[in-house]
């Protein structure tokens, strides 16, 4: 069995499981943000409403808001706070960062766990060797909170094997975006996706993170990187981090293997209207951008701010572009401050926002007029998520986003426009 | 389980953000239902009739896995949603909220807006009565049929708590 099958077998009290079987398994952690928490609480209160037997199983992080702009949104957050208090759920209020980063940084995600949440990027926790799956609000309200369990269909596994050496200036984010275009949106529907091969092995934990993050766009149920010494070293840095929890697969090859050479990839941009509409930066270079943002599930890492500081050294943000910086956690903001990145980027003309999920769906920031365009490290670019359905969102690496902020138009770090 | 009705055809890669737009997420269902898929076909929320059948393209319901998107589609009164392929959270949510769903594989020209269509969830058959043609999709897993017959996951868990204890 591989990591996914082993975790599902253990959590459902079986010796083994086979792809295609439906099992009911014990869930270790439910993670909710302010929107999914609200929707789950509505269902729970209306249709279930029994005391929650193990409230420590659930964690809520307010990340779509850092300071509610309307009375309606303030009411939503107050409702969530009351619900969390009533049931004893762990709550990280506004300003604590993005759901997935805050959950990891505060020690709520551990290897070998089953982690669920209705944020569709929940599978990112496969980077730690957890089985992490996005479920809907009714699963959370109907079975996870009252019974600590959920139903799962055991997925077939695809291994994405990445080898080769990237060209200079090509980042892991470029490779990840390129893969969505190359494999295709929804093409790995219902499957588990293992990211492996020498390229993945050579990446740091936070660069590996960008790969399980994208599996939802391929249609996958979950994703993982087989735990190794990089995983183990990262787990030891977390509160309560215990490398003894690591679960390893038996090493058998996946049912399907897709091999790619990362050496053929140029810097990439996902263009509107979908994450799979990926092109080399050169094809859209020169498109004016009113906003550039480092933040969201795919950004706001310390690595992103370091890259931006390098790109902006000796330059200023273009006067027609606003450059937003949104740390993914309080820890990242503190680390950026200690390294001098906060002042350097501020003085270059960028604007820091509170740790949160930034312009993700424009609940607290990031609405655009119909003729405006943003380039960002966000994970989604569907029309209508940021103000006008006619506004445009491009997704790129932090290097490309920073170079575009300097140029005022889409530009790659190499490539002249900057 | 069989359903018959008028077909509403939608395209590929439609995200849940277009079923329930972000600005309406906190609104009551009476409001949500007036805006379902309106950006893609403004007539749909106005003209949809009970028992109509939505036939969408590839990777229908991608993006956020919030069940409210399936609930809003269900609240339009449609009898069933068919797609060439579904995003998995959307497919799961359909059964959990009690909305029948059938995946039929790539058949972009099988049915058009206004055709009469019939769905048999147990056999996976999808019939276009207007053109008199039938294709066979994936029959729903018996666990999911049980869930639909119970009225959704929460009802199933209440009726048969032993499944989840």
B85:A136 CB<8 A: no
List phi, psi (to 5°) of B41.
-155, 95
pLDDT tens, position by position, A166-191: 999 999 999 999 999 999 998 999 99
Judged by a CB distance cut-off of 8 A, whether residue B58 touches chain A is yes
Query: Among A76, A120, A142, whose Cβ lies nearest the Cβ of B154?
Result: A142
pLDDT tens, position by position, A8-28: 999 999 999 999 999 999 999
Please compute the mean of the pLDDT values over residues A315-327 and round it to a whole number.
Answer: 98
pLDDT tens, position by position, B121-160: 999 999 999 999 999 998 999 999 999 999 999 999 999 9
Please compute the mean of the pLDDT values over residues A250-271 and round it to a whole number.
Answer: 96
Please compute the mean of the pLDDT values over residues A95-117 and round it to a whole number.
Answer: 97
d(CA B114, CA B133): 15
Average pLDDT, chain A: 96
Contacts with A, B 101-140, CB within 8 Å: none
Chain A residues in contact with B64 by the CB 8 A cut-off are 118-120
| pLDDT of A224 higher than 70 | yes
Encode burial over A389-404: b for 16+ CB neighbours within 10 A, e otherwise.
eebbbbbbbbbbbbbb
d(CA A271, CA B46): 31
d(CA A123, CA A258): 19
Q: How far does A190 lie from chain B, in Å, by closest CA?
A: 6
- Continuous H helices in A159-315: 172-183, 198-201, 205-208, 210-214, 229-236, 281-284, 302-312
Question: pTM of the predicted model, to two decimals?
Answer: 0.94
Contacts with A, B 146-165, CB within 8 Å: 152-154, 157, 161, 163-165
d(CA B149, CA A51): 27
Encode burial over A152-168: b for 16+ CB neighbours within 10 A, e otherwise.
bbbbbbbbbbbebebee
A143:B13 CB<8 A: no
B87:A134 CB<8 A: no
For chain B, give the longest Cα–Cα distance: 48
pLDDT tens, position by position, B83-94: 999 999 999 999
Predicted confidence band at B21 (pLDDT cuts at 50, 70, 90)? confident
Chain A residues in contact with B154 by the CB 8 A cut-off are 43, 47-48, 138, 141-142
Predicted confidence band at A414 (pLDDT cuts at 50, 70, 90)? low
Judged by a CB distance cut-off of 8 A, whether residue B141 touches chain A is yes
């Amino acid at each position: 069995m591989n990591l996914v099958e082993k975790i599902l077998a253990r959590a459902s009290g079986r010796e083994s499981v086979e792809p295609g079987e439906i099992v009911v398994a014990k869930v270790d952690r439910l993670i909710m943000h302010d929107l999914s928490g609200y929707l789950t609480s509505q269902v729970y209160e209306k249709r279930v409403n029994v005391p929650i037997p193990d409230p420590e199983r659930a964690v809520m992080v307010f990340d779509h808001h850092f300071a509610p702009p309307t009375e309606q949104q303030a009411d939503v957050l107050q409702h969530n706070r009351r619900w969390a208090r009533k049931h004893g759920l762990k709550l990280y209020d506004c300003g604590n960062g993005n759901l997935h980063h805050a959950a990891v940084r505060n020690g709520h995600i551990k290897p070998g766990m089953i982690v669920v949440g209705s944020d569709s990027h929940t599978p990112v926790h496969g980077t730690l060797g957890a089985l992490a799956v996005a479920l809907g609000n009714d699963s959370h309200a109907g079975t996870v909170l009252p019974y600590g369990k959920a139903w799962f269909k055991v997925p077939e596994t695809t291994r994405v094997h990445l080898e080769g050496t990237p060209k200079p200036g090509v980042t892991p984010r470029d490779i990840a975006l390129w893969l969505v275009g190359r494999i295709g949106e929804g093409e790995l529907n219902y499957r588990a996706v293992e990211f492996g091969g020498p390229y993945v092995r050579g990446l740091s934990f936070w660069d590996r993170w960008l790969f399980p993050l994208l599996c939802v766009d391929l249609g996958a149920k979950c994703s993982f990187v087989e735990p190794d010494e990089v995983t183990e070293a990262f787990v030891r840095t977390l509160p309560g981090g215990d490398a003894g929890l690591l679960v390893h697969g038996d090493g058998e090859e996946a049912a399907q293997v897709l091999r790619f050479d990362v050496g053929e990839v140029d810097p990439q941009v996902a263009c509107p209207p979908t994450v799979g509409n990926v092109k080399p930066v050169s094809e859209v270079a020169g498109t004016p951008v009113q906003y550039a943002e480092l933040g969201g599930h795919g950004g706001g890492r310390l690595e992103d701010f370091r890259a931006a500081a390098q790109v902006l050294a000796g330059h200023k943000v273009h006067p027609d572009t606003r450059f937003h910086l949104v740390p993914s956690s309080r820890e990242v903001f503190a680390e950026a401050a200690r390294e001098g990145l906060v002042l350097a980027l501020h003085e270059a003309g960028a604007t820091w926002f509170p740790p949160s999920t930034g312009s993700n769906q424009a609940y607290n920031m990031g609405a655009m007029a119909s003729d405006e365009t943003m380039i960002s490290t966000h994970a989604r670019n569907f029309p209508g998520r940021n103000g006008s359905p006619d506004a445009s969102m491009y997704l790129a690496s932090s290097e490309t986003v920073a170079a575009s902020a300097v140029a005022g138009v889409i530009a790659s770090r190499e490539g002249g426009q900057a | 389980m069989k359903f018959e009705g008028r077909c509403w055809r939608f395209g590929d890669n439609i995200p849940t953000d277009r079923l329930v737009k972000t600005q309406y997420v906190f609104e009551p269902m009476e409001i949500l239902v007036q805006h379902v898929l309106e950006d893609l076909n403004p007539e749909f929320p106005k003209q949809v009739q009970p028992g109509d059948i939505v036939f969408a393209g590839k990777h229908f319901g991608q993006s956020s896995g919030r069940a409210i998107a399936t609930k809003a589609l269900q609240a339009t009164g449609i009898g069933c949603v068919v797609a060439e392929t579904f995003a998995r959270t959307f497919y799961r949510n359909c059964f959990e909220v009690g909305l029948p769903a059938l995946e039929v594989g790539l058949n972009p020209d099988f049915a058009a807006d206004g055709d009469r269509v019939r769905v048999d969830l147990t056999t996976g058959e999808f019939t276009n009565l207007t053109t008199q043609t039938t294709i066979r999709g994936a029959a729903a897993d018996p666990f999911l049929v049980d869930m639909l017959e119970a009225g959704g996951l929460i009802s199933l868990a209440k009726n048969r708590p032993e499944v989840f204890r």
